[in-house]
Amino acid sequence: MSSTLHQKLEFLIVDPQNDFSDAPDAALPVTGAGADAERLAHLLERLRDRIDGIRVTLDTHQLLDIAHPVFWVDDAGRRPAPFTQISVAEVENGIWRAYDGHAQQRALAYVRALRDNGRYQLTIWPPHCLIGTWGHNVMPVVAKALRAWEEAKFARVDYVIKGHNPWTEHYSAVQADVPDPADPGTQINRRLIQVLENADVVALSGQALSHCVANTVRDIADQFGQESIRKLVLIEDTSSPVPGFEALARQFVTDMLRRGMKTARAADFLR
């Protein structure tokens, strides 16, 4: 893919955090994420002087979260194991219920809204990207490249927080799976959309390809005009799926290529 004179280049890096790395202590490891991060860091270094802006999303949780085991119990008082999927029928029938009985009706409304919105079935994840922990931090090799860009450009990386609301999953950086009317942070991030649509090229990277990258990019495309989708370029070897969800990642890429997104490898992008 060849460069164009004076093109405005933006990077959107989704959740490049330690808990999604394949380091030994990662809470939700993504196979290949360490190598993805190395390739991304080299790309940021190579294009440092040509990058106009960098947006980095940060998955941001606390222990109490509707998608963490602590929220739910069964009739025997047991917590769901990580990766348990909870259906509407299971909540309606009391197979799974909110640990705090006062939260039961809201939890039931939530799983029904997920179903009605055509989103993922509620998945219980290992507690991850908890505020104040190592897992919330950006992977060191990427953090180093981001700092070098800030120093070289006398600019700031724009960190976009997502996921802090405990009542809804927030895979996409654009909006939560079920937006909370009382929380603007769960609703469409129009500032992010506008910044990206004003670019000539938007390089896409991060973790994980099957979930947060896929949902973010789909939502961006839904907000963009059709011509703007052609600005999106997935750097395909800097993003990997959650193990076991490879089919979701493949379907995402197939769908977005049909809509006009492009792909490139890190070593070839804007050569």
pLDDT given at position 225? 87
| pLDDT of the residue at 118 | 81
Whether 93 and 193 map to the same domain: the answer is: no
- DSSP output for 174-211: S--SS--TT-GGGS--HHHHHHHHTSSEEEEEES-TTT
Q: Which of 104, 123, 142 is the last residue of a domain?
A: 123
Query: Are 176 and 118 members of one domain?
Result: no
The DSSP call for residue 231 is: T
The SS3 call for residue 123 is strand
Domain-located, residue 26: yes
pLDDT tens digits for range 232-246? 999 999 999 999 899
Pick the closest to residue 88 from 64, 125, 116 (CA basis). Answer: 116
Average pLDDT over residues 181-205: 96
Q: What CA–CA distance (Å, rounded) separates 257 from 21?
A: 26
Q: What per-residue confidence (pLDDT) applies to 89?
A: 97
Asked if residue 170 is part of any domain, the answer here is: yes
Residue 192 CA to its chain's centroid (Å): 14
* Burial (CB count <10 Å: 0-12, 13-18, 19+), residue 191: exposed
pLDDT in tens, 51-74: 999 999 999 999 999 999 999 999
Peptide bond into 214 cis (omega under 30): no
Q: Which helix (H) or strand (E) holds 165?
A: none
Least confident of 114-128, 139-153, 254-268: 114-128
Percent residues over pLDDT 70 in the chain: 98
Instruction: Report the CATH number at residue 25.
Output: 3.40.50.850
pLDDT bracket for residue 5 (50, 70, 90): low
Tokens found for residue 262: 């492009």
Q: Domain check: are 85 and 115 in the same one?
A: yes
Same domain, 48 and 136: yes
pLDDT of residue 6: 76
Number of domains in the chain: 2
Give the list of residues 6+ apart from residue 221 with CB closer than 8 angstroms, or none: 229, 232, 256, 259, 261
| pLDDT classification of 4: cutoffs 50, 70, 90 | very low
Tally of residues, the chain: 271
Distance CA 164, CA 83 (A): 20
pLDDT digits (tens, 9 = 90+) for 71-89: 999 999 999 999 999 999 9
82 and 55: one domain?
no
pLDDT at 9 over 70: yes
Whether residue 94 is predicted with pLDDT greater than 80 in this model: the reply is yes
Q: Which residue has the tokens 């992977």?
A: 139
Do the domain assignments include residue 271? no
Confidence of residue 1 (pLDDT cuts 50, 70, 90): very low
Q: How far apart are CA 174 and CA 186, in angstroms?
A: 8
DSSP H or E stretch at residue 267: none
The pLDDT of residue 2: 44
Q: Are residues 17 and 97 in the same domain?
A: no
205 pLDDT band, cuts 50/70/90, is: very high
Map tokens 């039961």 to a residue: 104
* Local confidence band at 107 (pLDDT 50, 70, 90 cut-offs): very high
Domain that holds residue 109: 69-123
Q: State the pLDDT at residue 141.
A: 98
Domain boundary among 80, 101, 123: 123
Q: Could you give the CA distance from residue 267 to residue 271 in angstroms, rounded to a whole number?
A: 8
Band of residue 25 on the pLDDT scale cut at 50, 70, 90 = very high
Is the backbone of residue 260 left (phi > 0), alpha (psi -120 to 50) or beta? left
